[in-house]
Amino acid sequence: MSTESNATSVQLGQRVVLPLPQLKFNADGLIPAIVQDAKSHRVLMMAWMNEASLKATLETGLMNYWSRSRKKFWVKGETSGHTQKVIRWSIDCDADTLLFEVEQTGGACHTGYESCFYQQFDPAGTALPIDEAKVFDPEKTYGN
């Protein structure tokens, strides 16, 4: 399947957005988005996007997602201020997963860590001690 398009670009918001490549959204109209720090290449998080959140991301240059649990659109950082500015993005060979390289402001994880993947395990499945400090206090940020 080709992901190229010959359609003309359109001006939306502050960015010129080309037509979306042909993507394979799941039965719920969602596609997984893996988010990686553009400098360190550390995986920060995985979230879901629908076509509208992908278009909003490309239009604004900031990551936008679809929350399956809350059934609503959300902008990363709308509560915390910890935004993700898109540097570049890719589509996997099956066109069913997106990879975004971002400039992360603050922590990506709502628990206060830089990455949602802060808990490591050994090969037997035993949790290893967490070897990093939180980058923010979630109680102060979210008022939990």
pLDDT digits (tens, 9 = 90+) for 48-99: 999 999 999 999 999 999 999 999 999 999 989 999 999 999 999 999 999 9
Residue ranges per structural domain of the chain: 24-108
Percent of the chain at pLDDT > 90 equals 83
Helix (H, G, I), strand (E, B) or coil at 67: strand
> Look-up: residue for tokens 């080709």?
2
> How confident is residue 5, by pLDDT bands cut at 50, 70 and 90?
very low
d(CA 2, CA 51): 18
Do residues 55 and 20 touch, judged by C-beta distance below 8 A?
A: yes
Can you give the pLDDT at residue 6?
A: 36
CATH number of this structure's domain 24-108:
3.10.20.810
* pLDDT computed for residue 14 by the predictor: 57
Long-range contacts of 65-74, Cβ-Cβ distance < 8 Å, separation of 24 or more: 65/33, 66/30, 68/28, 68/30
Q: Over 80: is that where the pLDDT of 30 sits? A: yes
- For the whole model, what pTM was predicted? 0.85
Q: Are 10 and 58 in contact (CB under 8 A)?
A: no
